[in-house]
Amino acid sequence: MSVEQRLRDGLARNAEAFHPDVEGRLGAVRRGQRHRSRVQWALAGVAVLAFLAAAAALAPALLASRHRGDLRIDSTTAAGQVLTGSYSTTVAAAAGVVTDRNLSGTWTVTWNNDGRMGVQAPTGYTGVLSGALFQSTPGAVRTDVFGQDLCSGLQIGRYRWTRTGNALMFTLADDRCEGRVAVLTSAPWTRTR
Amino acid sequence: MGVAVKDRAELEFAWLFRSHFASIARTVNLVVADRSRAEDLTQDAFVQLWRNWATVEGYERPDAWVRRVAIRLAVRAAQRERLRPFLELRSRRLFEDPAPDPDLADAIATLAPMQRAAVVLYYLEDRTVADVADLLHVSESTVKQHLHRARRRLAGLLNEEVAEDVR
């Protein structure tokens, strides 16, 4: 194996083995916190102990005001409340990206309330699908699904959506990723649960 | 800033954060070889993003802005880390789950920080030499030199062959 191939394979595998605490870090950034050095952590520990002692006496008042001044974002308000449920579609074999990237077959996507997408791909597709996110409003959705390989380096996709009964239909608003466009828009999606 | 505008800004920021934090932290981790540190540095970059959100929000690629900041923070951190005793760094990594390709991780850790960053951006993120040069704020010829030296060194450490492929 060439060192170049080892680098491409090995770096990708090593990178994917790391699962950062995204929500925890978002919480810290909401509070405007930079990370702390060890000394700062030690000082912070002392401060926390003092705070806990004070909080025990002032708990009701602190609880009432704890969110004041924070960024008021959480996963339940970050959208996903409009477009929810599991839907399946079948992408028909076709020349171009569908064949080149093994996209044909049945796809199932679960749109969760917390803005995360669960994606089940046809057996022929071997790309990374974990960690996909979406944000929806009535009639519009944007998503980074396939962002780790099929659409790597491209902006998130923006689509319009309509739902009639159990049928869900996406139409392209703005997306330069041909593969994502093919999966989402080539056929209507049917609700599975 | 009005309440509605602030709420929208917060939603947009959270969306960008959730979309890109993990990816950026993974790249940073390969430069600093320390997962906790990688999260810290990436968090710092996003704090800078939030502080500059009113301006950066209008850019075509706010994610590119924060990625650039994170990578530069990572290179500077890696340069400082090289001054630390090797054993201290190794012992800290013992508490982390091993990488799937530990030999490659160890070999990468022996590279100079700029070489590490160039290799990661070129081979992991599949960027062109021009992109890497722009991100690292150096010339394209410097990037090619970093990649050339890194490949030679890694090939020796990993017993692999070198096939030139710089674009």
Chain B, 52 to 71: residues with Cβ < 8 Å from chain A are: 61
Among A29-43, A169-183, B4-18, the minimum mean pLDDT is found in A29-43
How many whole angstroms from its chain centre is CA B52? 20
Outline where B52-137 has alpha helix (H). Answer: 53-56, 62-81, 86-93, 102-109, 113-119, 129-136
d(CA A136, CA B67): 25
Determine contact, residues A28/B119, Cβ cutoff 8 Å: no
* Its pTM surpasses 0.90: no
Residue among A7, A161, A15 nearest A87 (CA): A161
The per-residue pLDDT for range A102-144, each reduced to its tens digit, is 999 999 999 987 778 889 999 888 887 777 888 888 888 888 8
Helix B62-81 crosses helix B129-136 at what angle (to 10 degrees)? Answer: 70
Residue A171 has pLDDT above 80, yes or no: yes
d(CA B164, CA A91): 39
Confidence of residue B81 (pLDDT cuts 50, 70, 90): confident
Could you write out the DSSP letters of every residue in B13-35? HHHHHHHHHHHHHHHHHHHHS-H
The per-residue pLDDT for range B20-66, each reduced to its tens digit, is 999 999 999 999 988 889 999 999 999 999 989 989 988 888 999 99
Chain B residue numbers with beta carbons less than 8 Å from the beta carbon of A28 are: 43
- Rounded average pLDDT over A149-154: 77
- ipTM for the whole complex: 0.84
**Looking at residue A126, what is its pLDDT?**
82
Nearest beta carbon to residue A15 from set B40, B42, B124:
B124
Among A51-60, A86-95, B96-105, the minimum mean pLDDT is found in A51-60
User: Phi then psi for A94, rounded to 5 degrees?
Assistant: -155, 155
Say if the Cβ atoms of B42 and A18 lie within 8 Å.
no
**What does the block give as tokens for A13?**
């595998």
**What does the block give as tokens for B10?**
């917060």
Residue with tokens 């070889």: B33
**What does the block give as tokens for B93?**
């990594």
CA distance to partner chain A, nearest, from residue B109 (Å): 12
